[in-house]
Amino acid sequence: MEPFLSVYGHVAVDQICTVRKFPRDNTTEDVLTKTTALGGTGPNIAVHAARLGVPTAICAFVGNDFPQHFEKFISDSGLIMDEFVRVDGYDTSQCTLVTDSENVLKALFYQGPQGCASELGIRLVKNASKSKYTHFCTGEPKYYIDLMRDIPGRISLDPAQEIHRIWNPDLLGSAMKDTDYIFGNNFEFESILKYLKAERLDDIDLPLVVCTYGEKGSEAVIDGERFHIPTVKADKVVDAIGAGDSYRAGFYAGLYHGYDIHESLVIASSMSSFVVEQVGAMTADPGWEKVLERAEPYLREI
């Protein structure tokens, strides 16, 4: 099976902890609860896309310590896995998230092999060279920029929160030469606009620019014309983690099933409405028919 979509991004093991309070320097506090979960932008996007019927390849590096049951979970979603690569010398990417009793969150992130992929000497381009769409999310900018030059299909750039830390104006400028679509939330676009010396989304000269605003919906500039994409109403809101990644998956599902870009962004909003109804970025699995059914009243308003 050839991929319609190839997704690059971290595959991470998340350690989610709670404490009564954060320790003072050189002291210790007990962890009250601890959960280990599969995380990372790579599976968050790719797993949802595959579940929605999109032939999807995940292109990522993990360490040999990556848990087998997480790999089975990813594989069972139907993903193309021949560029899911275990490498020696690195532990898998890990995000440690700690929340105190005041709901203050602090996070530590270990990049793992995806963060230094150019050092590995392995160019993962087999699937992307055959894909209609390729989505680059978190990972080493230099590695991604190098790969983009050899990918013939539509390329989406989605640096996520790393835009503030490991990207800069020169790197973003280089990536934009081969980028067709760019995604980010309103906080991430503060850095994107600054790096590109642009004032508004409309100033970015790409076929598609998408900025999400959480519960306020999203804004899209499609071939120079600006549109508001409404928030599709969820039955309840429990947990917003992973909503943005599922939005991307819903977008590609719309394109795969024959909808245009504007319609596919409404379908993206519908997909994210299911994810916020449950705890966990990959817990919800509504299927294509339910996502489309919830989107239909909004599609009629376009």
Quick check: pTM over 0.85? yes
User: Where in the chain are the domains?
Assistant: 5-299
How far CA 298 is from CA of 85, 87, 206, 271, in Å, comes to 40, 45, 25, 13
Structure confidence at residue 240 (pLDDT): 85
Instruction: Please give the Cα distance from 269 to 25 (Å, whole number).
Output: 43
Structure confidence at residue 68 (pLDDT): 98
Structure confidence at residue 1 (pLDDT): 87
Structure confidence at residue 281 (pLDDT): 87
> Per-residue pLDDT for the chain (302 aa), expressed as one digit of tens each?
899 999 999 999 999 999 999 999 999 999 999 999 999 999 999 999 999 999 999 999 999 999 999 999 999 999 999 999 999 999 999 999 999 999 898 999 999 999 999 999 999 999 999 999 999 999 999 999 999 999 999 999 999 999 999 999 999 999 999 999 999 999 999 999 999 999 999 999 999 999 999 999 999 999 999 999 999 999 999 888 889 999 999 999 999 999 999 999 999 999 999 999 998 889 999 999 999 999 999 999 98
Return the bridge partners of 31, or none.
19
Give the CA dihedral 222, 229, 256, 138, nearest 10 degrees: 80
Residue 299 exposed, middle or buried by CB count within 10 Å (0-12, 13-18, 19+): middle
Structure confidence at residue 176 (pLDDT): 98
Structure confidence at residue 241 (pLDDT): 83
Structure confidence at residue 280 (pLDDT): 87
Please calculate the CA angle 137-213-98 and round it to the nearest 5 degrees. Answer: 65
Q: What is the CATH number of domain 5-299?
A: 3.40.1190.20
